[in-house]
Chain A
Amino acid sequence: MIGSENSTQLLSPHAALLKRNDREAERNRGLFYSKNLLVLNVLSSPGSGKTRLLERTLSDVGARFRFGVIVGDLQTDNDARRLSGRGAPVVPITTGTVCHLESAMIARAAEQLDLDALDVLVIENVGNLVCPARFDLGEDFRIVLFSTTEGEDKPLKYPLMFKTADVVLLNKIDLAEAVDFDSVSASANLAGVAPQATVMSVSARTGAGLPEWYRWLEERVAAKRVNRSEATVRR
């Protein structure tokens, strides 16, 4: 196998296979940081209620913070349409067959936004709890949604995704009783698999729990504003 007249040489690049995406993600991160932009990557299974939650968020606090939205889907721009007309610019990404968003897609979409005019950039990822977990987009925080209709053991089934979550939003809390959702179990599962995450129970439909979510947003935006004013003082 080795040897003969040609001596072999061992090269040890230790090269990350995802380095192309990671490098672009860092570039995104640098750009967003220079604009003091709060960037959120919103992830979930299809049908957990990402779009509904974002619709609600834009309506309720769209006047308080300047939002920009990037929405990814394989087909249709339905979600982008639903989010339009609420005061925030929305850029759709139709991936065709790609089941997750990648940093290069975000870089291209961000070119269509005036980042200087935004406080918060929300990226609604493709509905998928598997692949998006490994693709850094350059975000500040990962918001992972799952809903009561998906079962209390969801975090156990997708540990990699839940372990990357900064915030877990348990949605459709208003349906918990109707589907015999075991909240105690769900809490225990989240505490076990994702002890790092801030967990909030919400209903995008009834508004339950949303004030806490908005408070979280407010605190993160405020933190970015402090950075901005500190940077000004330094200059």
Chain B
Amino acid sequence: MHELSLMESALQIAEDEARRSAARRIHRLTLRIGEMSGVVPEALTFAFEALAPGTMAEGAELVLETMPVQCRCRSCGTDFHPATAIYECPACGQVSAQIERGQELELASLEVSR
């Protein structure tokens, strides 16, 4: 889902951050992608390969951390990782709507040098 424009955004943010630290090269970018973010990691990798050349991140390593979905049951407070799109609490059976983690779409960190 729009991995190209998301990667464009990631590279823009990365370059801005790098410049703010007076850096000139980006060696590694770490993105956190939630399991339920709607984004496909492979497509992000492809987008990176297409967009990184010519930027400060040319030749950099792209690290994609997939964050699993985590829910907290609103009935009994149990934290669980649902296996399907139906977030049924393994302890009490209550179906949850609330995701604590798993929808992330962020540039977590980058390694830069001057």
Contacts and interface: CB of A to CB of B under 8 A. Distances in A.
Interface of A: 1-2, 6-20, 130-131, 133-134, 156, 159-160, 163, 191-196
Contacts, number: 94
A1 B60 CA distance: 9
Nearest to A2: B27
B17 interface: yes
A12 B1 contact: no
Given A1-B27, A16-B106, A17-B105, A9 B85 contact: no
A193 B105 contact: no
B96 A18 contact: no
Contact of B113 (A8, A159, A191): A8
The 10 closest A-B pairs by CB, nearest first: A159-B85, A196-B97, A192-B86, A6-B113, A12-B109, A8-B113, A195-B95, A15-B13, A17-B9, A15-B107
A17 B38 contact: no
A191 B88 CA distance: 11
A192 B95 contact: yes
A156 B6 contact: no
Contact of B9 (A1, A12, A20, A159): A20
A7 B13 CA distance: 21
A18 B114 CA distance: 28
Contacts of B113: 6-9
A14 B32 CA distance: 9
Given A10-B110, A192-B86, 7 more contacts: A1-B27, A2-B28, A11-B112, A13-B13, A13-B17, A134-B105, A159-B85
